[in-house]
Amino acid sequence: MGLSLFEKLWQEHRVERQDDATDLIYIDRVFLHERTGSIALSSLQADGRDVFYPQQVFCCMDHIVDTYPERSDETTMPSGKDFIVATRSHTRAAGITLFDLDDPRQGIVHVVSPEQGIVQPGMTLVCPDSHTCTQGALGALAWGIGSSEAEHALATKTLRVKKPRTMRVHFDGSLALGVSAKDMILHLIATHGANGGSGYAVEFTGQAVSELDMEARMTLCNMAVEFSAFTGLIAPDEKTVAFLQGRPYAPVGEAWQQAADYWRQLVSDADSIYDCELRVDCTSLEPQVTWGTSPQHATGISGAVPAPGDVDTLERAGREKALAYMDLQVGEPIAGKMLDAAFIGSCTNSRISDLRLAASVLKGRKVAPGLRAICVPGSMLVKAQAEAEGLDKVFIEAGFEWRASGCSMCFFAGGEHFGFQQRVISTTNRNFESRQGPETRTHLASPVMVAASAVRGCITDPREFL
């Protein structure tokens, strides 16, 4: 019997077995950010423990930094400065590479790491951030952990991990115009539930996945955690190798050849067995949007708000609460719902390809009167690239605010937010209650749908603009 990619990566990193279920797994890279990394580092220091190999630890300032053009350590989030200052002093003391506020490479951790070539195929990489699974798009075993686990990884370069089961999701066929990786993952979660991937490491495969560019693959893997998966991953191919070549942290010369040869072997064997296999037909997939307060509350753009009674009772309680919170009526078509705001950003959809797609809809158009629209590039390098292509002008002329990089209004930390009960269409990953502001009503969608909806002022099928 052959081995799956996950199995190969697991075996490659297993130091030793701890018991029947748990292995001690070697960790190649640790990423931190100022929100949870600051606590992990200060706790480690308080316990008198050192970072074992700081050369392989990186940190981003992204979570609670302001994204106004003129920003400093002072934040609109009360006490945000404490997190920034603590992170700076702890990373300096430990010898950890920090992408600080004034660094031209600053940005969201899961955008910065691939952009710099820090994550590479075949690695294990962890970060105290649930969206670390994003980086599985490069064929790495990357997953989110808590602060205590981060301390463990920093101090010992290992983690004690219960081995997940394996799942393979085949995305068959090609995507139609206006349909994207965001729609693939929202549809998967809506079909199989927000806990559909619970306990599994999920490999995404199939024609539609092969055809995605690297950034779209990151979008797909980003929301594996919204499927409750241990992580998502995609086997590296020539696109992966080409993406990494020339990146600042990628190997060079002879080491590059050696690495690339190894990466090309990182595929699941043809006869490998998975604990679960799912198939999704992409040919008939339409753009998706969420109506409720869980990512599983998604529907195609031609759909309507479903009745809560169609499902079992515990699930029904959640759906009824979601309908009340979102102020939606059963049977109401989702397209045409009036909006207060539109947001393009986050580790899900803030890379240059996302901005190019949104700009293709916005070019020569204006956002609807009274609608607040914000674009936050995923890194300062993405921002610079967009500006070099003139995309900033497209966004600004359309009526979007053009920001510096950070996690921004993907979540409300006490600073900037969309306002009480405001209805927002957003390229982010979580539509939880009050996630983007006090009782803010979030609809998740792809960058093109957010751009099209911003122009119309209501939830809109992006294909009308393409």
Q: Which of residues 345-404 bind other proteins (CB under 8 A)?
A: none
Return the residues of window 60-79 that contact other proteins according to CB under 8 A: 77-79
Q: Does 255 bind other proteins (CB under 8 A)?
A: yes
Residue 122 touches other proteins, criterion: CB under 8 A: yes
Which CB sits closer to other proteins, 286 or 433?
Answer: 433
Closer residue to other proteins, CB minimum distance, 353 or 428: 428
Q: Name the region of 117 (left: φ>0; alpha: ψ -120 to 50; beta: rest).
A: left
Q: Which of 10, 31, 58, 83 binds other proteins (CB under 8 A)?
A: 83
Give the separation between CA 465 and CA 111, rounded to whole angstroms: 28
Residue 313's CB: how many other CB atoms inside 10 A?
8
Task: Considering the complex, state which of residue 152 and residue 372 has its C-beta at the smaller distance from other proteins.
Answer: 152
Out of 177, 271, 314, 364, the residue judged to bind other proteins by CB under 8 A: 314
- Identify the helix (H) or strand (E) that includes residue 152: helix 147-156
Residue with tokens 């686990």: 149
Tell which one of 11, 22, 72, 174 touches other proteins (CB under 8 A): 22
Whether 134 and 225 have beta carbons less than 8 Å apart is answered as: no
Q: Which is nearer to other proteins, 291 or 395 (CB)?
A: 291
Pick one of 82, 103, 286, 340: the residue that binds other proteins (CB under 8 A).
82
For residue 164, what are the CA distances in angstroms to 10, 15, 276, 409?
10, 17, 12, 32
- Which one of residues 110, 182, 423, 435 is an interface residue with other proteins (CB under 8 A)? 435
Token reading at 95: 């010898």
Candidate segments 20-28, 176-184, 302-310, 446-454, binder of other proteins by CB under 8 A: 20-28
CB of 154 to other proteins, least distance (A): 9
Task: List the interface residues with other proteins, window 135-154 (CB under 8 A).
Answer: 144-149, 151-152
Q: How far apart are CA 161 and CA 152, in angstroms?
A: 11
Question: Considering only residues 123, 235, 334, 404, which one is a binding residue for other proteins as defined by CB under 8 A?
Answer: 123
The Cβ of residue 388 has, within 10 Å, a number of other Cβ atoms equal to 10
Footprint (CB under 8 A) of other proteins, residues 166-195: 194-195
Residue in this structure with the two tokens 């109401």, named with its chain if needed = 332
> What whole-number distance in Å separates Cα of residue 264 and Cα of residue 397?
44
15 counts as binding other proteins under rule CB under 8 A: yes
Q: Does 198 bind other proteins (CB under 8 A)?
A: yes
Q: Select the residue interacting with other proteins from 54, 117, 173, 318 (CB under 8 A).
A: 318
Extended strands (E) in 345-428 = 372-375, 400-402, 423-426
Q: At what angle do helices 352-362 and 214-222 cross, to 10 degrees?
A: 100
